[in-house]
Structure 1
Amino acid sequence: MLQPLEILQKYWGHTVFRTPQEEIIASVLSGKDTFALMPTGGGKSICFQVPALMMEGICLVISPLVALMKDQVDGLQKRGIKAMAITGGIHQEEIIDLLDNCQFGNFKFLYISPERLQSDWIVDRIKSLPVNLIAIDEAHCVSQWGHDFRPAYLKIVLLKEIFPKVPFIALTASATKRVQEDVVVQLQLNNPTFFIKSFARENIAYMVYEVEDKLNLVAQILRKNPEPSIIYVTNRRSCVEIVSKLNSMSFSATYYHGGLSYKEKDAQMKLWMDEKVQVMVATNAFGMGIDKSNVKTVIHMNLPQNLENYYQEAGRAGRDETKAYAVLLVSPSDSVAAVSQYIDVLPDKAFLNKVYVKLCNFFQIAYGEGIDEKFSFNLHQFCVKYELNPVKTYNAIQFLDRQGIVTLSHEFSEKIKLQFIIPSKEVLRYTSLNPNDEEIIVALLRTHPGIYENQASINVSLIAKKAQRSEPEVLQLLEKLKNEGVVDYIAKSNDASLTFNESREDERTINRVVKYLNIQNELKVSQLKSVLYYVKEKETCKSRLLLRYFGEHSAADCGICSFCTSKKTKKNTGSLSQKLMELLRKEDLSSRDLQNITQFSKDDVIFALQNLMENDAIIIKPNNLYSIKK
Structure 2
Amino acid sequence: MDAQQILKKYWNHDSFREPQEAIIQSVLEGKDAFALLPTGGGKSICFQVPAMMNPGICLVISPLIALMKDQVQNLQKRDIKAIALTGGISSDETIDLLDNCQFGNYKFLYLSPERLQSDWVLERIKGLPINLIAIDEAHCVSQWGHDFRPAYLKISKLKEHFPKVPFLALTASATQRVQDDICTQLGLTNPAVFKKSFARENIAYMVFEAEDKLFRIQQILTKNPEPSIIYVRNRKACHDVSAQVTTMGFKSTFYHGGLTQKEKEKNMQSWLMEDVQVMVATNAFGMGIDKPNVRTVIHIQLPENLENYYQEAGRAGRNGVKAFAVLLLAPSDIQTTESQFLSVLPDKIFLKEVYIKLNNYFQIGYGEGINETFSFNLNHFCQRYKFPVLKTFNAMQFLDNQGIISLSKEFSEKITVRFLLESREVIRYISLNPSDEPVVTAILRNYSGVYEIETAINTNLIARKSGTSEENVIEVLKRMHQKEICLLHSQSNDSQLTFNEVREDERTINRIAKFLQQQNEIKTKQFESVIRYVSDKKQCKSRLLLEYFGETDTKDCGICSFCITQKKIEKSPLEIAQNILALLKNSPLSSREIENSLELSTEETIFALQLLLENNKVKINNQNQYISL
Question: TM-score normalized by structure 2?
Answer: 0.83
Q: Is the 8 A contact 2:57 2:107 kept in 1?
A: yes
Give the whole-Å Cα distance in 2 for the aligned partners of 1:340 and 1:144.
25
Instruction: Give SS of 1:414's match.
Output: strand
- Alignment partners' CA distance in 2, 1:610 and 1:304: 30
Residue 177 of structure 1 corresponds to: 176
**Counterpart in the other structure of 1:375:** 374
Aligned to 2:27: 28
* 1:561-580 alignment, distance < 5 Å: 561-569=560-568, 572-573=569-570
Q: 1:183 to 1:464 in 2, by over 3 A?
A: farther
C-alpha distance in 2 between matches for 1:529 and 1:521: 12
Structure 1 stretches of 5 or more lacking a match? 422-433, 593-600, 624-630
* Match runs of 1:289-300 below 5 Å: 289-300=288-299
CA gap of 1:240–1:616, structure 2 versus 1, over 3 A, is: closer
Q: Could you report, residue by residue, the CA deviation over 1:101-152 in whole angstroms, capped at 9, with x for unpaired residues?
A: 3333322222222233333333333333222111111111111211111222
Distance 1:148 1:578, change over 3 A: closer
1:162 Cα deviation from its structure 2 partner: 2.8
Q: C-alpha deviations, 1:159-215, integer Å up to 9, x for none?
A: 223322211111110001111111112211111110011111111100000110111
Checking the alignment, whether the CA contact within 8 Å between 2:408 and 2:495 is kept in structure 1 is: yes
Report the counterpart of residue 214 of structure 1 in structure 2: 213
Looking at structure 2, the residues matched to 573 and 18 of structure 1 have their Cα atoms a distance apart, in angstroms, of 42
Counterpart position of 1:120: 119
Check 1:245–1:453 CA distance in 2 against 1; reply closer, same or farther (3 A cut). closer
CA displacement at 1:340 relative to structure 2: 2.9
The separation in 1 between residues aligned to 2:601 and 2:356, in whole angstroms, is 65
Residue 527 of structure 1 corresponds to 526
- For 1:90-169, list aligned pairs within 5 A: 90-169=89-168
CA distance in 1, matches of 2:486, 2:117: 36
Contact 2:298 2:328 in 1 (8 A): yes
* Secondary structure in structure 1 of the residue aligned to 2:563: helix
Amino acid at match of 1:218: I
CA distance in 2, matches of 1:475, 1:121: 40
Q: How does 1:73-88 map to 2 (within 5 A)?
A: 73-88=72-87
Using the TM superposition, give the Cα deviation of residue 339 of structure 1 relative to its aligned residue in structure 2, in angstroms: 1.5
The one-letter amino acid of 1:208's match is V
Distance change in 2, residues 1:616/1:341 (3 Å): closer
User: Relative to structure 1, is the Cα distance of residues 606 and 275 closer, same or farther in structure 2, using a 3 angstrom cutoff?
Assistant: closer
Q: Aligned-pair distance for 1:488?
A: 11
In structure 1, the residue matched to 2:251 is 252
Q: Distance in 2 between matches of 1:36 and 1:104?
A: 32
In the alignment, which residue of structure 2 is the partner of 1:306?
305
Q: How does 1:223-622 map to 2 (within 5 A)?
A: 223-415=222-414, 440=442, 444=446, 459-461=458-460, 470-471=469-470, 492-569=491-568, 572-573=569-570, 603=598
* Deviation of 1:62 (Å): 1.5
1:470 and 1:567, CA in 2 relative to 1: closer, same or farther beyond 3 A? same
> What value does the CA root-mean-square deviation take over the aligned residues?
4.1
Following the alignment from structure 2 to structure 1, what is the Cα–Cα distance between the partners of residues 491 and 606?
Answer: 66
8 Å Cα contact 1:440/1:474 also seen in 2: no
Matched letter for residue 17 of structure 1: F
C-alpha separation between the residues in 2 aligned to 1:558 and 1:544? 7
1:537-568 deviations in Å (ceiling 9; x for gaps):
10000011001111111342111100000111
Secondary structure of the corresponding residue to residue 134 of structure 2: strand
Assess if the C-alpha contact under 8 Å between 2:24 and 2:50 holds in 1. yes
Query: In 1, Cα distance between the equivalents of 2:227 and 2:367?
Result: 54
- Secondary structure of 2:411's partner? strand
CA contact (8 A) 1:302 1:330 kept: yes
Deviates more, 1:451-460 or 1:507-516: 451-460
1:205 aligns with: 204
d(CA) in 1 for partners of 2:98, 2:462: 19
Secondary structure at the aligned position of 1:28 is classed as: helix
1: CA distance, partners of 2:200 / 2:36: 14
Give the secondary-structure state (helix, strand or coil) at the position aligned to 2:4.
helix
Cα distance, 1:4 vs structure 2: 1.4
Task: Report which stretch shifted further, 132-141 or 408-417.
Answer: 408-417
CA–CA distance in 2 between the matches of 1:339 and 1:390?
Answer: 18
Of residues 162-171 and 528-537 in structure 1, the stretch that sits farther from structure 2 once superposed is: 162-171
Contact residue 255 and residue 282 of structure 2 kept, 8 A: yes
Report the Cα offset of residue 361 of structure 1: 2.8
Find the aligned partners of 1:299 and 1:8 in 2 and give their Cα distance. Answer: 34
Contact 1:230-1:279 at 8 Å conserved across structures = yes
Letter in structure 2 aligned against 1:247: T
Which amino acid in the other structure matches residue 209 of structure 1? F
Task: Give the partner amino acid of 2:570.
Answer: T
Q: Which secondary structure state, in structure 2, belongs to the residue aligned with residue 25 of structure 1? A: helix
Shift of 1:591: 8.0
> What is the alpha-carbon distance in structure 2 between the residues aligned to residue 43 and residue 241 of structure 1?
34
Q: How many residues of Structure 1 are paired with residues of Structure 2 in the alignment? A: 591
CA-CA distance at 1:25 after TM superposition: 0.7
- Output the CA distance in 1 between the equivalents of 2:418 and 2:393: 35
1:160 to 1:471, Cα distance in 2 relative to 1, 3 A: farther
Report the Cα distance in structure 2 between the residues aligned to 1:36 and 1:308, rounded to whole angstroms: 16
Cα deviation 1:394-447 (Å, max 9, x = unaligned):
2112211221222223453233579999xxxxxxxxxxxx996899579948xx
Partners of 1:456 and 1:93 lie apart in 2 by 22
CA contact (8 A) 1:591 1:605 kept: no
How far, CA to CA, are the matches of 2:535 and 2:213 in structure 1? Answer: 17
Q: Which moved more, 1:140-149 or 1:325-334?
A: 140-149
Mapped partners of 2:462, 2:118: distance in 1 = 25
Shift of 1:613: 6.4
Pair 1:467–1:45, CA change in 2 (3 A): farther
Q: Secondary structure at the match of 2:570?
A: helix
Q: Counterparts of 1:603 and 1:91 in 2: how far apart (Å)?
A: 64
Aligned residues of 2:574 and 2:608 also touching (Cα < 8 A): no
Q: Return the alpha-carbon distance in structure 1 between the equivalents of residues 9 and 498 of structure 2.
A: 44
> What residue is the counterpart of 1:19 in the other structure?
18
Q: Does 1:63 align with 2:37?
A: no
Aligned mates of 1:414, 1:99 — CA distance in 2: 28
SS in structure 2 at match of 1:195:
strand
CA distance in 2, matches of 1:552, 1:466: 57
The one-letter code of the counterpart of 2:256 is H
Quote how far apart the aligned CAs of 1:17 are: 1.5
Question: In structure 1, what is the Cα distance between the partners aligned to 2:187 and 2:276?
Answer: 46
Q: Do 2:439 and 2:462's aligned partners in 1 also have CA atoms closer than 8 Å?
A: no
Q: Is the 8 A contact 1:443 1:463 kept in 2?
A: no
CA distance in 2, matches of 1:222, 1:130: 52
Q: Which moved more, 1:259-268 or 1:457-466?
A: 457-466
Alignment deviations for residues 569-601 of structure 1 (CA, whole Å, 9 cap, x no partner): 1xx236xx69989xx9xxxx9689xxxxxxxx9
Distance, in Å, in 1 between the alignment partners of 2:486 and 2:602 is 76
Look up the SS of the partner of 1:53 in the other structure. helix
Is residue 546–residue 554 contact of structure 2 (8 Å, CA) maintained in 1? Answer: no
Moved more, 53-62 or 312-321: 53-62
Assess, with a 3 A threshold, how the Cα gap between structure 1 residues 438 and 414 changes in structure 2: closer, same or farther: closer
Taking a change above 3 Å as real, the CA distance of residues 99 and 439 of structure 1, as seen in their structure-2 partners, is: farther
For 1:48, the equivalent position in structure 2 comes to 47
- What amino acid is aligned across from residue 373 of structure 1 in structure 2? E
1:295-328 deviations in Å (ceiling 9; x for gaps) = 1110000000000000000001111111111000
User: What amino acid is the match of 1:286?
Assistant: F
- Distance in 1 between residues matched to 2:154 and 2:96, nearest whole Å: 24
Other structure's SS at 1:117 match: helix
Aligned CA distance change for structure 1 residues 152 and 562 (closer, same or farther; 3 Å): same
Normalised by the length of structure 1, the TM-score is 0.83
Stretch deviating more after TM superposition (87-96 or 240-249): 87-96
Letter in 2 for 1:268: N
